[in-house]
Amino acid sequence: MRVLAVASEGFPFVKTGGLADVVGALPGALAPEGIAVTTMLPGYPAVMAALGPVEASETVADLFGAPARLVRAQAAGRDLLVLDAPHFFARSGSPYLSPTGGDWPDNAMRFAALGRAVAQAVPGLGAMAGFDAVHAHDWQAGLAPAYLRFSGSNVPTLFTIHNLAFQGQFPADVFGLLGLPAAAFRTEGLEYFGMVGYLKSGIWFADRVSTVSPGYAAEIRTPQWGMGLDGLLRGRGGALSGILNGLDTAEWDPSADAHLPARFEAKTAAAARARNKAELQKRMGLAAAPDAPLFVFIGRLAWQKGVDLILEALPAILDQGGQLAVLGSGERALENRVHGATAAQTGRVGSYVGFDEGLARLCYGGADFVLMPSRFEPCGLGQLCALRYGAPPVVAHVGGLADSVVDANEMALASGVGTGFNFAPVGHEMLSAAIERAIGVYREPALMRQVQANAMAQDVSWTRSATKYAAIFREMVAGRG
């Protein structure tokens, strides 16, 4: 079966977040299921530079005002179909943001072009051979199901929501530029409170809809977390699935991670993690204290991620002799608060405002606990990395965090199954209580080793989830047959 995956980013070519990791890992995970995935990406400079020999190309005579082409090639062992549209994508910097920091003013047309090009790519012939199904990811590919539907295509589509908070909403006058029939701009289509909704388009027009964890699939059907789309999502009923994300376990492997001073497997974790912890403390400006429980946060400094809750719960860490390291960037106010805590608690709080892949790996391989107190979390990959590297995560009981971390409560500890620490409701008081429970386990070395071993024993690969995706593709294609 041939599937065309359409996304605005994909590892290792372009990455701003977890979407790229999923898009990069799924082709390899689906191959054992007999599904050959070709990934369609915009022709950003980094993508074009990575292409190997071009296998085939097809001209798109007029893609919203200028010619473009579809280029079929391989790169980094992956089959790619690249939309080479220089007027939209030959720009330096972020795929979404201009050098001034705001959205590119033509993002509506840039990602409409991506969706529209899918309708041309799907029925390709010869060296540009077509596809049996399309897998569109997030709002940037949300128009692909609409363009396919109105082109008369019989190829089924799966639309995956990675984060419902980012919906791709644009003014109504954008619709007149899209080349879709007037019938598409109505409540049963792209219209969303008088605007054009790209994410809504994907949900409405796709044959099937998925999101990145079973818990999040349930949450987004409620008014609290449905972001205005809960009614539509409830209406899709059995067409909506929650499939937990996984990790590329070859890419995330503590026994082979070149960023770690000491690599390890479960049986060698204790000594190696102690060496990594010492190096992490040094790089983060923390006191060299091997017995201090070290908590880390890695990710966007954002309200969604609960960074403010970590700062409010800081006494729960420091009053028990613990340390905190923060790695990430985001909202300016939170960056300033992190800087302030670092300055006020020299040697006890360390931070790196920005992103450093090697330092992130060191955090997973050297910290005692990873903090993820998100107010909502579609899936999260950080807790999977933490499990893989033996750093028990402390997580809010929401979305994919609840689906993937087994709370090390008294019964779980007695049964030997806990892998981390969950808390609810989401607030700094309950986060503080979870931190105190984690430190209590840390102070009992045998228990701590057991929780770490439980964490590392979890299957965080794509294997189970790939089987579920494959079943959806087979059902869709059989239904159209």
250's CB contacts (< 8 A; 6+ apart) are none
CA 2 distance to own-chain centroid: 24
Distance, in Å, from the CA atom of 26 to the CA atom of 130, rounded to the nearest integer, reads 19
CA 58 distance to own-chain centroid: 31
Distance, in Å, from the CA atom of 182 to the CA atom of 184, rounded to the nearest integer, reads 5
Using the structure block, give the residue that is written with the tokens 């027009």.
205
Residue 324, strand partner residues: 295, 349
Nearest to 385 by CA among 296, 310, 317: 296
Cβ-contact 139, 114 below 8 angstroms: no
Pairing of strands 323-328, 133-137: unpaired
DSSP state of 306: T
Q: Alpha carbon of 393 to those of 5, 199, 291, 369, 423: distances in Å? A: 31, 31, 19, 6, 11
What angle, 0 to 180 degrees and rounded to 10, lies between the N-to-C axes of helices 382-389 and 445-456?
Answer: 120
User: b or e along 365-385 (b: 16 or more beta carbons within 10 Å of the residue's beta carbon)?
Assistant: bbbbbbbbbbbbbbbbbbbbb
Distance, in Å, from the CA atom of 225 to the CA atom of 433, rounded to the nearest integer, reads 25
Q: What is the CA radius of gyration of the chain?
A: 23
Distance, in Å, from the CA atom of 373 to the CA atom of 393, rounded to the nearest integer, reads 10
Q: Is 15 annotated as a binding residue?
A: yes
Cβ-contact 176, 126 below 8 angstroms: no
Nearest to 261 by CA among 403, 104, 397, 366: 366
Cβ-contact 361, 260 below 8 angstroms: yes
Using the structure block, give the residue that is written with the tokens 């840039």.
110
SS3 128: helix
Distance, in Å, from the CA atom of 122 to the CA atom of 153, rounded to the nearest integer, reads 8
Binding positions for ADP-alpha-D-glucose: 15
What residue numbers does the annotated binding site cover? 15
